[in-house]
A = this chain, B = another copy of it.
């Protein structure tokens, strides 16, 4: 939906909610795509969300269920909590089981069991099957519904069998298995259309199938789908048996989520922090980290305090202190951004880490020398003290070198600890470049004090 149209819908919907004009609200919503309603909802307060959902639910369960699949899982749980168990289980039988598996664990525990109890056997088993796998794995985001037929089936029987099974959402492939349900190959529906009715599946299938295991990390699943240009990827267990399929729409959600997480973690933000949250909830999320930052950011003041005597005698050093610190931070952030994205998008291991370190250090030295030289000269012409210029230049060179070194090592080191490579990296680096930059600058200043004071 265009921004202009969206804004009008949001404003009108809000007005209708406040007026209690719920049939007019429904009229506004009934022709919108569920994804658009989800976008509208994302601009609403918790209360408005609930009213909008209930209005849709009363007029059309199906539509309400679709909307629930599209909104943030946290919002969906918030809404469902207010409904009776029987209605929740009704809705859960309509929406895809991978979406249920995401929303259900966010409900209060006693509610979860009651809902699973109330649901029909098949969907309930499907959801339990998915919940069996850890969060953020292929097993959690796969769909247990897909077309799979025996290799000896012919094309015409295959079409009939698929028809009997009914419409499987976003299915573009038919998977081919042996008698033990082991994955042998894949046939696109396009191939199926173009093949003679009596051809056997095994004669038209592609046997080189890219697949993942249920334990595979969702990021790795996303990379496989992206690298091999797939629209779905089969999930097989240790015996090569087909147990699910991850579709590209879920992969895009993963890619979006991981990109947001990369940026968020670099600046130590909680992954769930959103503009729409209340200020109070965001303060609660950010404050603990900012308090930690007060401690890490106090390292630099300690260094300055140590050199108070030097500063007293050569106050000009205090003038250039922020410049040395800032340039280290700026150069280091660039290195971190490159390494974090490289780890996210590419395949990176210690072999490439070594190469990356060498590369970034070379860049750091190169840039440092040029910047250092420029700053030396400029400050010399402005202040007229050659030594101060040299000290400034040297400190900048060292600090940009340190920034390149740590900017590369911090993300790889975090990855080695099985933490997110971006986690707080920008702030940790800033602490280091602030402290080391000032230490080198004031240290050199102390050594050459008689030439600059």
Contact = CB atoms under 8 A, between A and B. Distances in A.
Interface of A: 1, 3, 6-7, 10, 33, 35-36, 38-39, 42-43, 70, 159, 162-163, 167, 170-172, 189-190, 192-194, 208, 210, 225-231, 248-249, 251-253, 255-256, 259-260, 262-264, 266-269, 273-275, 277, 279-280, 282-283, 286-287, 290-291, 293-294, 297-298, 300-301, 304-305, 308, 311-312, 315-316, 318-323, 325-327, 329-331, 333-334, 336-342, 345-347, 349, 351-352, 355-356, 359-360, 362-363, 366-367, 370-371, 374-375, 426-427, 430-431, 434, 438
Contact of A334 (B230, B286, B334, B366): B286
B323 A300 contact: yes
A386 B305 CA distance: 18
Contacts of A208: 33
Contact of A267 (B225, B334, B434): B334
A259 B255 contact: yes
A170 B282 contact: no
Looking at A190, A248, A342, A360, the one whose CB has the most chain B CB atoms below 10 A away is A190
Given A194-B159, A194-B163, A326-B297, A338 B279 contact: no
A267 B300 contact: no
Contacts of A312: 312, 315
The binding surface of chain A is classed by DSSP as: helix
Contacts of A194: 159, 162-163, 167
A229 B360 CA distance: 39
Nearest to A33: B228
Contact of A279 (B275, B300, B349, B362): B362
Contacts of A294: 323, 327, 371, 374-375
23 contacts: A35-B227, A35-B228, A172-B172, A192-B193, A193-B193, A231-B231, A263-B341, A264-B338, A268-B330, A269-B334, A274-B338, A274-B342, A279-B362, A287-B366, A291-B374, A293-B326, A294-B375, A297-B326, A301-B322, A311-B311, A312-B315, A322-B325, A333-B426
A226 B356 CA distance: 33
A35 B190 contact: no
A371 B298 CA distance: 13
Given A42-B346, A252-B226, A351-B7, A279 B359 contact: yes
Contacts of A345: 256, 260
A273 B167 CA distance: 46
Given A171-B190, A274-B342, A308-B316, 13 more contacts: A189-B189, A226-B253, A255-B259, A256-B259, A260-B345, A264-B341, A268-B334, A274-B338, A283-B366, A290-B327, A290-B331, A308-B315, A311-B318
The 5 closest A-B pairs by CB, nearest first: A259-B259, A279-B362, A229-B249, A300-B322, A297-B326
Given A347-B3, A366-B283, A321 B337 contact: no
B434 A326 contact: yes
A172 B159 contact: no
Contacts of A162: 193-194
A290 B363 contact: no
Contacts of A319: 301, 304-305, 308
A222 to B, nearest CB: 8
Contacts of A322: 297, 300-301, 304, 321-322, 325, 434, 438
Nearest to A167: B190
Given A282-B359, A283-B363, A297-B327, A7 B189 contact: no
Nearest to A225: B252
